[in-house]
Amino acid sequence: MAEKISIDAEGLHYTPLNQQIRAAVAAGAKEIVLDNVNGQRFIGNGLRGKDVRITINGVPGGDLGMFMSGPTCIVHANAEHAPGNTMDAGTIYIHGNAGDAVAHSMRGGEVYVKGNIGYRGGIHMKEYQDKKPVLVVGGRTRAFLGEYMAGGLLIVLGRGYTCPVDERGIGTGIHGGEIFIRGEVPEKHLGIGATKKPFTEKERELIRPYIKKYCIEFGIDDPSLFEDEYVRIGPASARPFAGKYTWE
Amino acid sequence: MPIGSTPPKYRVRIDNDRCMLCEQCIENCPYGTFRKEGNKILVNSRACTGCHRCIAMCPRDAIDLEEKPVDYRSHPIWTREAREAIYNQARTGKIILAGMGNILEVPPIFDRLLLDACQVTNPSIDPLREPMELRTYIGKKPSKVEVATKPNGDIELLTHLAPNLKCETPIMIGHMSYGAISLNAQLSLARGAAAQGTFMGTGEGGLHKHLYPYQDHMIVQVASGRFGVDIDYLERGAAIEIKIGQGAKPGIGGHLPGEKVDESVSGTRMIPVSSDAISPAPHHDIYSIEDLAQLVRGLKEATEWKKPVFVKIAAVHNVAAIASGIARSSADAVVIDGFRGGTGAAPRVFRDHVGIPIEAAVAAVDEKLRHHGVRNEVSVIASGGIRDSADVTKTIALGADAVYIGTAALISLGCRVCGSCYRGLCPWGIATQRPDLVARLDPDIMWENVSNLINGWTLEIAELMGAAGINSIESLRGNRDRLRAYMLDENLMEVLDVKTVGAGA
Ligand code: SF4
Ligand code: SF4
């Protein structure tokens, strides 16, 4: 099979679509282009293949790249809810906005959203050893961002907003990882267990490569993304629920 | 403000005439109850948790254990437990966590249900002589099958069958995670289950590589924390179970404290050493029955529709309607965990007061699924306080396909239901990660206990069925006519759909 293949997703149910994608990967395809995607859920679900690139022309349905382990998905449209759900490795680029629970419970890999996302972004992301999930959002997010976070990086570039997360529940119950927000973050929006920390050169260096990847993928040239101050939010303690219980 | 101490829970006494000073008790007790001074074993009774390890190991039967040696002034309302909980919370101001299952003093409904047997007019069946079919398939069954006759006369099945688990007995072992219990305990359970041709759950702790040899007999769990969940894990399991809730603590999340996350537990759960493992109360990608269907299908899609997917919920008031929603979500089995379900740790107030008994839940779910015509779409697995083969038989007669056992399986490994799992020092090597304690449980020996237990119960179920003139578990399932209620009220009998004792066929 050719290294590059196109699949016409017009009118296809997600199961046969995924079967075709799997078959292509098994046959050695490295570049897979899906045309006329229109709401098919679970694209790339559980798919392996480190050097596989899937270009998605059209709007994918929910749980894009769920449990995915390796491939890169590039969406030339908006995405529905939970792209990168419980993803293990790989990259998702969304040239648009995405719905709720983006990168839910993501364990590794990176998700880049050019525009805005919905509620519960990056909720319960977690890291282990070399697996460090990263979520970069170009615009703004809704409430409950990074709740229960147990690891990884969540970066909100806030392009076009002075207060890109203007809702409550940021980092409730966070016990690992960090959230970076470019713009104002009113204290009252922080959830229980989350606290602001100093943003130093060290952190600037930490997030720089991901901002760079964002700029390259989406063709954005804006030095302020690298130079501006970010609000750094992390856990007030690694044990947010300790101290609540006693034993019988 | 100091109230002084509450009375000791246990009193341990050594009979010095019998004691041979072998010091087994000192070695075996991880709580430091015993010490030797001069020619005598001395005892600190307050350290005792009632785990019986010393009693099991003393070669001279020299140890006496008394529970509640000091009485409170008796009072029917202000029980010892009520008073001690108040002392505790007056001191700490916190939520009380407790171990093992519900301790409410209400009789299990099981004990008020009686089984049937044949006499004269319908002959009983001798399982020794006649084949008894206890094999149970867990998963979707088609409502009808289409066949075609091939030119050579062979019959060909045209209907696509959904994947099912083939269990040689209706008894499976429920989910107890690595972290909550030791690897040796999991290994013993897995090997025992495999030997009996049945299955066990991994719990929300990932799958340790030492369990890979038994993976065809393991049901991998996906809970709200998604610990240890990757595509490799999902593909290894014989089935996948989404845990929504648990009978011991319906509606709340779970929490493995950082102290229990050692190197090995951390690797299996895929979280850093010593970090708290927090499972949120809901799955944050499931806020509706449609979202649940999305996760069920997501898991099936990831594993190419080769694995049955179960959904486990706690038995709560509206369990029947919820189960019916699950049945229509593409799930292959619904697991219902009753309010007597065990746990390593749960808030006491949840453990004892939230949820409903499994007996009523199973009957209600079975009735609802039949009413909606979807009973064949989904298997029903019941759990939560199943103590013996009679409980299993009654559960199936009330409408379940199979049961999960948890505490009973741990008891087969020596557990004494002391309820101190949370201390992490289980003297039987079960609920602990301390290497010297874990080493007390040798999986190469103990798997046989698990296997024996399941085998014994399975034989008993066959005898009970035979006595009732039933030779296939299918004919027992939902067969309420084989049950009679003894001293149950009319409303409950209606829910269970069971007649009173004395009522004829
Ligand atoms: S184990 Fe029994 S015999 Fe041995 S020292 Fe203890 S009480 Fe005495
Ligand atoms: S597992 Fe161990 S600590 Fe827990 S109740 Fe059983 S004997 Fe006690």
B267: amino acid identity, one letter: G
Residue B255 pLDDT class (50, 70, 90 cuts): confident
Nearest CA in chain B to A103: B285
Q: How far apart are CA B414 and CA B427, in angstroms?
A: 9
- Among A167, A161, A158, smallest CA distance to A186 is for A167
pTM, two decimal places: 0.94
Task: Give residues 47 to 86 of A whose Cβ lies within 8 Å of B.
Answer: 48, 62-63, 66-69, 81-82, 85-86
Task: Give residues 263 to 292 of B whose Cβ lies within 8 Å of A.
Answer: 266, 270-272, 275-276, 278, 280, 284-285
CB contact under 8 A, B234 and A107: no
**Checking DSSP bridges between strand A231-235 and strand A176-181, what pairing results, if any?**
antiparallel
The residues pairing with B300 across neighbouring beta strands, listed in sequence order, are: none
Residue nearest to ligand 2 atom 2, measured at CA = B426
Residue from B103, B351, B430 whose mutation best tests the ligand 2 pocket (most atoms within 8 A of CB): B430
Q: How far apart are CA A19 and CA A42, in angstroms?
A: 11
Q: Which residues of A touch B279 (CB under 8 A)?
A: none
Residue B66 pLDDT class (50, 70, 90 cuts): very high
Asked if residue A242 has pLDDT above 90, the reply is no
For A165-208, the pLDDT digits (tens) are 999 999 999 989 999 999 999 999 999 999 999 999 999 999 99
Chain B interface includes A226 (CB < 8 A): no
Mean pLDDT of B425-441: 96
Position A2 scores a pLDDT of 65
Position B3 scores a pLDDT of 83
Mutant choice from B224, B255, B275, B305 vs A, greatest count of A C-beta within 10 A:
B275
Residue A3 pLDDT class (50, 70, 90 cuts): confident
CB contact under 8 A, B226 and A86: yes
Q: How far apart are CA A50 and CA A47, in angstroms?
A: 10
For B282-304, the pLDDT digits (tens) are 888 898 999 999 999 999 999 99
Nearest ligand 2 atom to alpha carbon B431: 1
For B455-505, the pLDDT digits (tens) are 999 999 999 999 999 999 999 999 999 999 999 999 999 999 999 999 987
In this structure, of B168-172, B189-193, B341-345, the range with the lowest mean pLDDT score is: B341-345
Q: What are phi and psi of B312, to 5 degrees?
A: -105, 130
Q: What does pLDDT average to over chain B?
A: 94
Residues with CB under 6 A from ligand 2: B 51, 100, 410, 415-421, 426, 428, 430-431
CB pairs under 8 A between A and B: 136
B165-500: CATH superfamily:
Aldolase class I (3.20.20.70)
Closest in B226, B229, B275 to A176, CB measured: B275
- E-strand ranges in A42-122 read 53-59, 69-75, 89-94, 110-113
Question: Which of A222-234 are b and which e, b meaning 16 or more Cβ less than 10 Å from the residue's Cβ?
Answer: eeebeeeebbbbb
Retrieve residue A64's tokens: 């894009």
Residue A1 pLDDT class (50, 70, 90 cuts): low
Higher pLDDT, B191 or A240: B191
Position B483 scores a pLDDT of 97
Residue B1 pLDDT class (50, 70, 90 cuts): low
Three-state DSSP class for A122? coil
Do residues B343 and B352 lie in contact, with contact meaning Cβ atoms separated by under 8 Å?
no
Residue B505: count of CB within 10 angstroms of its CB? 5
Q: Which residues of A touch B298 (CB under 8 A)?
A: 41-42, 45, 63, 66-67, 85
Do residues B240 and B234 lie in contact, with contact meaning Cβ atoms separated by under 8 Å?
yes
- Among B33, B46, B37, B31, smallest CA distance to B16 is for B37
Q: Domain spans of chain B?
A: 10-94, 165-500
Position B449 scores a pLDDT of 98
Position B253 scores a pLDDT of 82
Closest in B224, B231, B276 to A46, CB measured: B231
Closest in A18, A107, A246 to B301, CB measured: A18
The angle subtended at Cα B477 by Cα B500 and Cα B112, nearest 5°, is 30
Q: How far apart are CA A32 and CA A73, in angstroms?
A: 9
Q: How far apart are CA B67 and CA B293, in angstroms?
A: 49
Cα separations in angstroms, A20 against A15, A27, A107, B95, B206: 9, 10, 26, 53, 30
Position A218 scores a pLDDT of 98
On the question of a common fold for B10-94 and B165-500, the answer reads no
* CA-derived radius of gyration, chain A: 18
Cα separations in angstroms, B223 against A112, A220, B229, B269, B387: 26, 39, 9, 12, 26
Asked if residue B185 has pLDDT above 70, the reply is yes
Q: At what angle do helices B319-327 and B358-371 cross, to 10 degrees?
A: 50
Residue B273 pLDDT class (50, 70, 90 cuts): confident
CB contact under 8 A, B226 and A101: no
Q: How far apart are CA B233 and CA B269, in angstroms?
A: 11
**Checking DSSP bridges between strand A176-181 and strand B165-167, what pairing results, if any?**
unpaired
Position B272 scores a pLDDT of 78
High-pLDDT (> 90) share of chain B, %: 83
Residue B502: count of CB within 10 angstroms of its CB? 7
Q: How far apart are CA A146 and CA A125, in angstroms?
A: 7
For B98-135, the pLDDT digits (tens) are 888 888 888 899 999 999 999 988 889 998 899 999 99
Mean pLDDT of B348-359: 94
Class in CATH terms, B10-94? alpha beta
Which ligand has its closest atom nearest to the C-alpha of B53? 2
For A92-151, the pLDDT digits (tens) are 999 999 999 999 999 999 999 999 999 999 999 999 988 999 999 999 999 999 999 999
The residues pairing with B405 across neighbouring beta strands, listed in sequence order, are: B173
Nearest ligand 1 atom to alpha carbon B18: 3
- Among B109, B123, B148, smallest CA distance to B362 is for B109
Residue nearest to ligand 1 atom 4, measured at CA = B22
Asked if residue B266 has pLDDT above 80, the reply is yes
Asked if residue B276 has pLDDT above 90, the reply is no
For A4-40, the pLDDT digits (tens) are 999 999 999 999 999 999 999 999 999 999 999 999 9
Chain A interface includes B85 (CB < 8 A): yes
Chain B interface includes A243 (CB < 8 A): yes
Contacting residues for A23 by C-beta, under 8 A, at least 6 apart: none
Do residues B345 and B99 lie in contact, with contact meaning Cβ atoms separated by under 8 Å?
yes
CB contact under 8 A, A173 and B98: no
Nearest CA in chain B to A89: B230
B51: amino acid identity, one letter: C
Three-state DSSP class for B335? strand
Asked if residue B259 has pLDDT above 90, the reply is no
Instruction: Name the helix (H) or strand (E) containing A211.
Output: helix A201-218
Retrieve residue B464's tokens: 């009970």
For A35-56, the pLDDT digits (tens) are 999 999 999 999 999 899 999 9
Position A129 scores a pLDDT of 87
Reported ipTM: 0.93
Nearest ligand 1 atom to alpha carbon B15: 7
Chain A interface includes B436 (CB < 8 A): no
Closest in B234, B255, B297 to A241, CB measured: B255
Mutant choice from A86, A104, A174, A239 vs B, greatest count of B C-beta within 10 A:
A86
Please give, rounded to a whole number of angstroms, the shortest distance from the CA of B295 to a CA of chain A: 9
Do residues A32 and A51 lie in contact, with contact meaning Cβ atoms separated by under 8 Å?
no
Q: Which residues of B touch A86 (CB under 8 A)?
A: 226, 229-230
Contacting residues for B271 by C-beta, under 8 A, at least 6 apart: A126, A128, A150, A151, B227, B261, B277
Cα of B12 vs centre of ligand 1, distance in Å, is: 12
C-alpha dihedral, B433 to B439 to B445 to B449, nearest 10°: -40
Please give, rounded to a whole number of angstroms, the shortest distance from the CA of A194 to a CA of chain B: 15
Q: How far apart are CA A248 and CA B420, in angstroms?
A: 9
Distance of CA B501 to the CA centre of its chain: 30
Nearest ligand 1 atom to alpha carbon B36: 5
Cα separations in angstroms, B34 against A22, B25, B48, B63, B64: 63, 7, 9, 11, 13
- Per-residue 3-state assignment (H helix, E strand, C coil) for B145-186: CCEEECCCCCEEECCCCCCCEEECCCEEEEECCECCECHHHH
